[in-house]
Amino acid sequence: MTLKRKILTGYGVSFVLMGLVVAWAIANLIALGRATDAILSENYRSILAAENMIDALERQDSGVLLTFLGDDGEGIAQYRENEAVFLEWLARAKDNVTVRGEADLVRSIEADYGAYRKLFSAPGGPRGAEAAARPGVRYQQAIHPIFAKVRQACIDLRNLNERTMYAASVRAGDVARRAIWSTALVAALALTAALAFSLLLSERLVRPLRRVTEASRKISSGDYGVQVPVEAGDELGNLAGEFNQMARRLASYHEMNIEQIIAEKNKSEAIISSIEDGLVVFDTNLRVASINPAARALLEMPLGQGSAPSCADILPDERLCQIIRAAVENGARPALPDERRVIAIRKGETTKECLFSVTAIRGGDRRLSGVVLLLRDVTRLKEVERLKSEFVMAASHELRTPLTSLGMSVGLLLEHAAAGLAERDRELLQAAHEEVQRMKALVDDLLDLSKIEAGRIELEFESVSVATLFDHAKAVFKNQLEMNGVSLTAELDAAAPPVRADANKITWVLTNLISNALRYVGKGGHIALAASVIGPCAHLSVRDDGPGIPPEFQSKIFQKFVQVQGREAGGTGLGLAICKEIVRAHGGAIWVESAPGQGSKFIFTLPLAR
C-alpha cells in the first residue's frame, strides 16, 4: 500500500467512526422524535376529545335543566347545539382508539350517551309526560344518573389517556437519557478507536524514518555496514531500499579508499626501502619518525630499537643536527654549497663520507610536519676525486720542469737568434713561445688547483685589513690599467674590521677576479672593489661594467674548464675554480650577480678576525 493510500485510509477510518457517531445520534434523535410524536398523536387527541365531550355534555345538561325550569326554547337549543359538538368529538375519539381499554370506554360512552339522548327525546320531552308534576324527581332519578355516568366515562377516558401520556413522556425521557448515554459511549469508543488507529498509523509511518535517521547518524560516524529493514512496499520502503543501496556503495567506496591508501602506503614504503641512499624522517620534535634500511646500515642502527631516538642520538655530527633544527624552526631548506653538505660517519675502521640534504615536509594545509634527511654515500666519489687530483698534481708537476726549460730555451732563441731568422721562422718561434707560456700557465693553474683540492696547500691565516688586500691587488694591475684606459676604484668603510685570511691567497683571488674583469670590460671601462660587513662575515666584491654573464652560466663558471661560449679570451677556465677552492678553504663562499649587458659582480665572504 502506498504512503498516500495509508494516510487516506487513516483519514477514512476516522471519517467512518465520525459518521458512525453522527448516525447513532441521528437514530436516537429520530427515536426521541417518534416517542414525542406518539404522545401527541395517540393521547393528546383523545384527551382533547374527552375534554370537549365533558364540556359539551355539561352544556347539554344545562340545556336540560333550562327546560326543567320552563325555558324550553333556550334549553332545547342549547342541548341540540352541544349534542352535535358531543357527537363530533365522540366520533374523533372513536377514530383515535390507541390505548388498551379505550375502546370499551368509548363504547360505554356511546351506549350511555345514546340512552341519555333517548331520555331527552322521550314523549313529553326531558321532563316526561307522567312526571310533569314532579320535574325535580324525574331529573334526579332518571336524567342525572345517566348524565353523571357518561360524564364519568368521559373523565375516565381523559384520565386513561393522561396516564398513558405520562407513561409515554416517561418513556420519551428514558429514550432521551439512553440516547445521551449511548451517543456519549459510541463517541467515546469511536474517539478511542480513532486515537489508537492514529497512533498506530503514525508509529508505522514514523518508525522507518526514525530508522533511516539513526542509520544516517551511524554512517556519519564511520559505521558503513549499517542497513535499514525494508518493511513495506510503499514510498518509505522504497526510501529504505535506496538508503541501503547508498550505504552499500559508501561502504565499498570506503573499502576501496582504505585499500588504495594501504596500497599507496606500501608502495611508498617499498620505494623508501629500495632507495640506495639513506633516508631519515624526523618529526617536529627532532625524533626519528621513519628510517629506511640504507640509513640504518649507514648509521649502524639495529632494527626494532625501542622508543624513537632523537637526532643527536643517531647523527655523529652536531652541525647536521643544528641544520635540521633550523629547518624545523624556519620551515626552509638550508642553502649550503655542496662542499659544506658533506659529513664523515665512522663505521668501525673506515670512515664514510656522506653528502646530505635536508628538506622540510609540509602537509596539504602548509603546516610543517617534519624534516627529511637524505644521506648519499660519496666516499667512493671523493676517493676518485682525490686520486684524480693526485694524478693531475703529479702530471702537472712532471710537466712543469720540461715546460719551464722549453719556455726558457724558446725565449732565449727569440732574444738572440731571431734577428738572423727569416720572417716566417721568427713568427713560428713567436707562436711556439706563446703556446709554451699558455701551457705553462695551464700547468701552474692545474698544479695549484689540485694541491688545494688535495688539501696539500698550507694557509697562513693572519688578521689582515681589507684595505691592505685591495692595495696589494691594485698594485699588480697599475700598468695594465693605464695601458687599457680602465679605471679601478675601491669603496671601503674605514672602520671595517680586519678579516682572518691568508693575505697572499686572497690577493691571488682578487687579482684573478680583477684580471677577468679587465679582460671583459672595454677601453674606458670601470672596475670597482667594495667591502661590507654582514653578520660575522666580510663581503668583498669586484664589479665591472663588462658584457655580463648569462644566468645559465652563473653557477657553472666556478667549475673547472667551464667558459662562457664565444668568450674564450685565452684563459684556462680554471681561475674561478681555484678562487672557489681558496675561499672555501677560508670557510667562505663565492658567487656572481650578473645580467647580460649589465656587467658582473663577483662576491666572496671571509670570516672576520676576532
Q: Which spans of this chain sit near ligand ADP (rule: CB under 6 A)? A: 516-517, 520, 544, 546-547, 549, 557, 563-564, 567-568, 571-577, 600
Which of 65/436 has CB closer to ligand ADP? 436
Q: In sequence order, which residues have a C-beta less than 8 Å from that of residue 387 and are 6 or more positions away?
A: none
* Secondary structure letter of residue 125 according to DSSP: G
CB of 552 to ligand ADP, least distance (A): 12
Nearer of residues 108 and 515 to ligand ADP, judged by Cβ: 515
Task: Please report, in angstroms and rounded to a whole number, the separation of the first and last CA atoms in the chain.
Answer: 97
Question: Helices 45-68 and 72-95, interaxial angle, to 10°?
Answer: 160
- Report, in Å, the least distance between residue 395 CB and ligand ADP: 19
Write down the residue that cell numbers 693572519 correspond to: 462
- Measured from the CB of residue 514, what is the shortest distance to ligand ADP in angstroms? 9
Cα distance between residue 272 and residue 264, in whole Å: 12
User: Which residue has the closest beta carbon to ligand ADP?
Assistant: 571
As measured in angstroms, the least distance from the Cβ of 509 to ligand ADP is: 11
Return all residues near 31 (Cβ < 8 A) that are at least 6 apart.
Answer: 175, 179
State the nearest-atom distance from the C-beta of 546 to ligand ADP, in Å.
4
Q: Whose Cβ is closer to ligand ADP: residue 407's or residue 573's?
A: 573
Residues 144 and 85 sit within 8 Å (Cβ to Cβ): no
Q: How far is the CB of 292 from ligand ADP (least distance, A)?
A: 40
* φ, ψ dihedrals at 528, nearest 5°: -125, 130
b/e map 341-369, b = 16+ CB within 10 Å: bbbebeeeeeebbbbbebebbeeeeeebe
Shortest reach from residue 481's CB to ligand ADP, in Å: 15
| Angle formed at CA 462 by CA 461 and CA 468, multiple of 5 degrees | 120
Would the CA dihedral through 362, 363, 367, 373 be positive or negative?
negative
**Grid cell listed for 448:** 695549484
Nearer to ligand ADP, 42 or 544 (CB): 544
Least Cβ distance, residue 466 to ligand ADP (angstroms): 20
d(CA 498, CA 548): 30
- Minimum Å gap between C-beta 567 and ligand ADP is 4
Indicate the residue among 237 and 547 with the shorter CB distance to ligand ADP.
547
Q: Which three cell numbers stand for residue 291?
A: 628510517
Beta carbon of residue 524, minimum distance to ligand ADP (angstroms, whole number): 16
Kindly tell me which of 66 and 513 has the beta carbon lying closer to ligand ADP. Answer: 513
Q: Per the structure block, which three cell numbers stand in for 144?
A: 342525572
**Of 535 and 566, which CB lies nearer to ligand ADP in the complex structure?**
566
CB of 365 to ligand ADP, least distance (A): 45
Rounded CA-CA distance 277/321 in Å is 19
Indicate the residue among 372 and 557 with the shorter CB distance to ligand ADP. 557
Give the nearer residue to ligand ADP in terms of CB position, either 201 or 562.
Answer: 562
Give the phi and the psi of residue 343 in degrees, each rounded to 5. Answer: -125, 155
Q: Provide the minimum distance between the beta carbon of 600 and ligand ADP in the complex, in angstroms, as a whole number.
A: 4
Indicate the residue type of 78.
Answer: Q
Cβ closest to ligand ADP, residue 52 vs residue 594: 594
CB atoms within 10 A of CB 436: 18
Q: Can you list the alpha helix ranges (DSSP code H) found in 374-417?
A: 379-416
Q: Is 375 helix (H, G, I), strand (E, B) or coil?
A: strand
Nearer to ligand ADP, 43 or 594 (CB): 594
Cβ-based neighbour number of residue 199 at 10 Å: 10
282 close to 329: Cβ distance less than 8 angstroms? no
- Please, which residue, 208 or 575, has the CB nearer to ligand ADP? 575
Find the length of the chain: 610
- Residue 517 CB, nearest approach to ligand ADP (Å): 4
**Looking at beta carbons only, is 135 or 599 nearer to ligand ADP?**
599
Return the exposure string of 547-571: e unless at least 16 CB atoms fall within 10 Å of the residue's CB, then b.
Answer: bbbeeebbeebbebeebbeeeeeeb
Q: What angle do CA 392, 397, 399 make, to 5 degrees?
A: 95
